[in-house]
Amino acid sequence: MYAKQPYEQIYGSWEPASPVAARTAAVCKQALRQAVAENGQAVIAIPGGRSITRVLEALRDDPEVPWEHIHIFWVDERWVPLEHPDSNFGAAWQPVLQPLVAAGRMHQDQVHPFRYRSDLPDGGVGLYQSEFRQYAADSAERFDLVLLGVGEDGHCASLFPRHPALAETGYGFIAVDNSPKPPPQRMSASRTMIAAARCAVLLFFGEGKRTALERFGDDEVPIEACPCKIALQAVHTVVVTDLG
């Protein structure tokens, strides 16, 4: 059992060579290297979005990140084909993961996108959970690192405020229906899955995220009203923001 570490905040404007970028990359690298040292591999979960791509690009350019031992899953995904412009997979594959595979720093088999199955009632979520269990066994079936973009309403992954998906008590990936943001059907890591992560990094960039950041830091606001607070239950929680 890992002891809960103090909540950390990294503040400043994000530039490729800025202290904020360097510190964020260092936190992520430490979590990944520690997992590899202990288990021989690391499991990272990522969403979509430009902010997450920034972090991945910083890790891509660091020669000390052990990409050859890292398995990548998605913390959420729309029920769309991988090549669809709304797919979270494409946002990370083209600028970061494909170059790493092309350079021989990791194998394509280490990249585990969610593949929507229109022929299955759950869209393929059960298959994705089985795949995760296969590759995360050495990591106690938990995320060694989860990166989370935060929406203006405080949502993370595809867990939205006061949505029934927040009441899911099972551990694993879940199907989300009636998402308040289109498309309505999605796959998401469950509340318990995010809470069990060894390291959770949340990104609050831009003035539009100020209210979400304030609610995140307000002890009176429950998780149901600000789902990104789930990440406070991770062993190590890090907030990265340019909002002073």
User: Does position 1 have pLDDT exceeding 80, yes or no?
Assistant: no
Q: Which amino acid is at 200?
A: A
List, in order, residues 6 or more apart from 1 with CB less than 8 Å away: none
- Distance from C-alpha of 190 to C-alpha of 193, rounded to nearest angstrom: 5
Determine contact, residues 209/215, Cβ cutoff 8 Å: no
Average pLDDT, the chain: 95
Determine contact, residues 35/42, Cβ cutoff 8 Å: yes
Determine contact, residues 165/188, Cβ cutoff 8 Å: yes
Average pLDDT over residues 219-232: 98
> In terms of pLDDT, which residue wins out, 214 or 135?
214
- Distance from C-alpha of 202 to C-alpha of 206, rounded to nearest angstrom: 13
Angle between helix 50-60 and 19-39 (nearest 10): 70
**Maximum pairwise Cα distance, the chain:** 48
What is the three-state SS of 50-61? Answer: HHHHHHHHHHHC
Taking only the tens place, the pLDDT of each residue in 182-205 is 999 999 999 999 999 999 999 999
Domain residue ranges of the chain, discontinuous segments joined by +: 8-146+232-241
Taking only the tens place, the pLDDT of each residue in 130-181 is 999 998 877 778 999 999 999 999 999 999 999 999 999 889 999 999 999 9
83 Rama sector, left if φ>0, alpha if ψ -120 to 50, beta otherwise: alpha
User: What is the pLDDT at residue 244?
Assistant: 82
List, in order, residues 6 or more apart from 52 with CB less than 8 Å away: 46, 91, 92, 147, 149, 203
Strand order in the sheet with 76-78: 76-78, 186-189, 173-176
Q: Which fold has domain 8-146+232-241?
A: Rossmann fold (3.40.50)
Determine contact, residues 109/161, Cβ cutoff 8 Å: no
SS3 208: helix
Q: What distance, in Å, lies between the first and last C-alpha atoms of the chain?
A: 35
Q: Which amino acid is at 69?
A: H
- Local structure of residue 64 (DSSP, 8 states): T
Average pLDDT over residues 104-109: 98
